[in-house]
Structure 1
Amino acid sequence: MQQIPESLVARMLNVWALDLHSNQLKTLPNSIGCLTKLKFLNVSGNYLQFLPKTIEDCRSLEELNANFNELTRLPDTIGFELTNLTKLSVNSNKLVMLPSSLSHMTSLRVLDARLNRLGSLPEDLENLVNLQVLNISQNFQHLTTLPYSIGLLISLVELDVSYNGITVLPDSLGCLRRIQKLSLEGNPLVSPPFEVVEQGLEAVKRYMSEKMTESYKKTPMKKKLWGIGKMVKYKTFHGLSSSPGRRTGGDHRGDEREGFINVNDYRQIDGIASPRHVSLFNPRRLLSPLSAYFSPPRY
């Protein structure tokens, strides 16, 4: 098939699965937005250069497979609407970036964006609280850095960043508590060095965690007070201290270290990780002393 009539799709109101893979489609009809019950859409193996903005109206969509096309971009606001999406596969395209709205897909569990031309990733990845698998391998020389927030993906189990141009991994990778598989080969890594990488996952996590601790010690007081908030929130930072007055016997030794915030002062992240509240995860709001979700440090 080279095209699909608009009128045909507009009458398929009860369709919940649509498989159009391995055709010669260059565009999808705008009427695809009428498929409000659609849960599974496979348009892989076509010649699509873009997805129609109306795809955002398919709010029941759970899986979207657009692999092996010629996509150069995704709709800018796709993440604001497709909040039920659990799997997004856009590998083997020509994408140069992923929209920042992607970080609002709080139900997303699998993101496959390998074999593209990605030059960067969205900054607010920590909002993807259910993401378990992230594959951004084989973007080659285009992808040279990873955002700090990649280490705040609290559910991440598999991370593949192989065959890119990455030289330095963010220290926050040492905070990935659930990670079981980490693929780093094919990168000109300087930090961590090769001798650490070849020792395996635990060695890499330990190296990055120690580096983060060292970096924290050199951080000015003002930045310590609020910049460490995320690490404390996710219970991943080494050396957490309880707040004064909560230890038995009134022993407060060790509580005088600068910039520590008690984990118990935070609401559980799962309780506010809904699309309606996802804006609360904005770093500016999280790190603001006026935030309603944590108390300022006690002295």
Structure 2
Amino acid sequence: MMSEEQQEQLMRKRKGDGKRFEEEEERLDIVDLSGMSMDSLPRPCLNLTSICKLNLSNNNLQSIPESLTARLLNVVVLDVHSNQLKRLPNSIGCLSKLKTLNVSGNLLQSLPKTIENCRSLEELNANFNILTNLPESIGFDLIHMKKLSVNSNKLVFLPRSITHLTYLRVLDARLNCLRALPEDLENLINLQVLNVSQNFQYLESLPYSIGLLVSLVELDVSYNKIATLPDSIGCMKRLQKLSVEGNPLVSPPAEVFEQGLHAVKEYLGEKMNAGHRSPPKKKSWVGKLVKYGTFNAGHVMRGGSEHGEREGFIISEFRSIEGLASPRYTGMFSARRLFSPSR
């Protein structure tokens, strides 16, 4: 419960005097209850549907009532960072206009699946929690997301659906337990900053698709267990910053990194091109048949040899398939003739 002093602070924050307090509440759009050491929320005495921004950060809140969240129908910004929250209310899915959600610095182990209904969400900050996973289909519904920050958690994998966040510009997943990144990262066509550093002994490789992030400017993969960078990074024309320290890198070698980012991209580009060179043409199966004397109907003289050794089958001029199928040539391709031993 709130003390009398906290009640007075609340009154001042709402910028009302004793006589006009209720009138002020009716047209209130922004409510700031941050830093008031609240253990629980006061009983709302204002029209919750009029709030567009609610700040409950830096308190001691352990829960948010379902009934309160369900009535914040017009809230655009909700900030509850630095509390003691162990869960978010399922009714958060009612916030269809919510664009910014800050739940960092709490004790959240998961996010409610209903968060997928916040289809206007553009920025989600869930840093410094104990998240072990994200909703599996989060990327299918939150299609307007521009910034996703989930650093300093216990995430093992990122859901594959995040590759559908085509408006995403910043993805911060450092300081987790990531063992791999999703494939198909090339779908994140607007991603500019990707930070998956400090997953330490867990992250050992990067997907090839990471080099196909056409808008990426900054890539931080430092302090992982990566030995080889994908050759596709050589294609990243807009990349300006690459951080790889703290990895047991073998390719590219250290002397290449000492020459700067341009040298790294050039090295990887040349390596990729070398790997995509056309393989040598396979010898024709006809040649094998000739070698083993399967085609033995014709004779060619070697350098005017008197012995007339057989080298291969020859048709001196072009003939249509109809012509070759005539009685004159049918016997030439019979199974008995083709596979009979050489005489």
TM-score (normalised: structure 2): 0.64
Residue 104 (structure 1) aligns with: 164
Q: Mapping of 1:263-278 within 5 angstroms?
A: none
Distance, in Å, in 1 between the alignment partners of 2:223 and 2:111 is 27
Q: Mapping of 1:21-32 within 5 angstroms?
A: 21-32=81-92
Unaligned runs of 5+ in 1: 222-299
Distance, in Å, in 2 between the alignment partners of 1:94 and 1:220 is 48
Q: Mapping of 1:169-188 within 5 angstroms?
A: 169-188=229-248
Q: Which amino acid aligns with 1:209?
A: G
Provide the secondary structure at the position in 2 that maps to 1:41: strand
Q: Mapping of 1:41-190 within 5 angstroms?
A: 41-190=101-250
Provide the secondary structure at the position in 2 that maps to 1:217: coil
Q: Structure 1 pair 220/2, CA: closer, same or farther in 2 (3 Å)? A: farther
Using the aligned pairs only, state the percent identity. Answer: 73
List per-residue Cα deviations over 1:166-218 (Å, max 9, x = no partner): 00010000000000000011000000011111211001000000000111116
Tell me which moved more, 13-22 or 212-221: 212-221
Distance, in Å, in 1 between the alignment partners of 2:247 and 2:264 is 14
Distance, in Å, in 1 between the alignment partners of 2:264 and 2:156 is 28
Residue 34 (structure 1) aligns with: 94
Distance, in Å, in 1 between the alignment partners of 2:259 and 2:132 is 38
CA RMSD of superposed structures (Å): 1.0
Distance, in Å, in 2 between the alignment partners of 1:79 and 1:136 is 18
Q: Which amino acid aligns with 1:151?
A: G
Distance, in Å, in 1 between the alignment partners of 2:260 and 2:204 is 22
Distance, in Å, in 2 between the alignment partners of 1:69 and 1:124 is 27
Residue 12 (structure 1) aligns with: 72
List per-residue Cα deviations over 1:8-42 (Å, max 9, x = no partner): 00000000000000000000000000000000000
Provide the secondary structure at the position in 1 that maps to 2:245: coil
Distance, in Å, in 2 between the alignment partners of 1:172 and 1:219 is 20
Q: Mapping of 1:148-297 within 5 angstroms?
A: 148-217=208-277
Distance, in Å, in 2 between the alignment partners of 1:99 and 1:211 is 31
Q: Which runs of 4+ in 1 moved over 6 A?
A: none
Q: Structure 1 pair 28/218, CA: closer, same or farther in 2 (3 Å)? A: same
Q: Which amino acid aligns with 2:124?
A: L
Provide the secondary structure at the position in 2 that maps to 1:179: coil
Q: Structure 1 pair 9/219, CA: closer, same or farther in 2 (3 Å)? A: farther
Structure number with higher relative contact order (C-alpha < 8 Å, ≥ 6 residues apart):
1
Provide the secondary structure at the position in 1 that maps to 2:156: coil
